[in-house]
Amino acid sequence: MVEFIFTNKTIYTKRREALNKLTFKDSKSACHKIVTDSKGKRYIMDTSTVRPNVYGFGIIPKQVSVDMVEFGYHDQNFEFKAKPSPKYMGAVAATQPLTTILFKMFENIFLKYNIHQRALLKWGIVALSVFIAYLLVKVYVKRAQKKVAERLPENAKRYTATFTFSKRRDFSYWFGIGLVAIFVFLFMRSNNGSEGILLIPITILSWYFFIVWLGMTPIHYDYEKQYISLVSIEEKK
């Protein structure tokens, strides 16, 4: 009897999912996705509003919700149009000499002030680097939200999409933390003054971790892989 009820619930969930299947597209904002449901309605989904955002740490929440705003089918304000930038090659070409200059600068500073011999101070510098990366991400997300809000009409309908998870656990966020931890370990182990250059990968990797966790939660990937299922899309009152 229990098995029969469970089967009926599964069939009902699949039918509901089929009736309102979602498709995802990239938008001009890295923190937003263009979502289209099976009825043709289009939304701009703010992936920085996923809550609770703990799935990538191996925790399976009962449900997660994310904010969306409906926009017109013919509205092209959020469509992503890839354009090759000539500045990209110039930035790549400048990376090597810039790294050399930064290496020399950090080495001189660490040796001059004996920072390489002060463990507590080095821990403080690491914490400051990670905190700066966090602040940069928060600023980036706020700017992205502001730009999207400026492109939306004032009377746009706002929705909350709710998803439920399967039993599969995801530990991908720990991979990012592990990469940062490796460079922190190398930074703390080195004491010849050259470890200062390691603050660059520590800050960059911390930034990537925070932007994925707090701004670019891959809810579209989890949905397309059927790790999560749509429960409802409800208009905010």
41 inside domain: yes
129 inside domain: yes
57 inside domain: yes
Q: DSSP state, 115? A: G
How confident is the model over 174-196, as pLDDT tens digits? Answer: 999 999 999 999 988 888 777 78
Mean pLDDT of 205-219: 93
- The predicted pLDDT at position 213 comes to 94
CA atoms within 13 A on the CB side of 234: 7
3 inside domain: no
Q: Which residue has the higher pLDDT, 115 or 173?
A: 173
Domain hosting residue 92, numbered range: 8-235
> Cα(148)–Cα(164) distance, rounded to whole angstroms?
27
35 inside domain: yes
167 inside domain: yes
Mean pLDDT of 34-52: 92
Q: Is the pLDDT of residue 96 over 60?
A: no
Go through 111-150 and write b for each residue having 16 or more CB atoms within 10 A of its CB, e for each that does not: eeeebbeeeeebeebbeebbeebbeebeebbeebbeebee
- Letter for the amino acid at 222? D
> Cα(51)–Cα(129) distance, rounded to whole angstroms?
26
Q: Is the pLDDT of residue 18 over 60?
A: no
197 inside domain: yes
Structural domains counted in the chain: 1
- Letter for the amino acid at 16? R
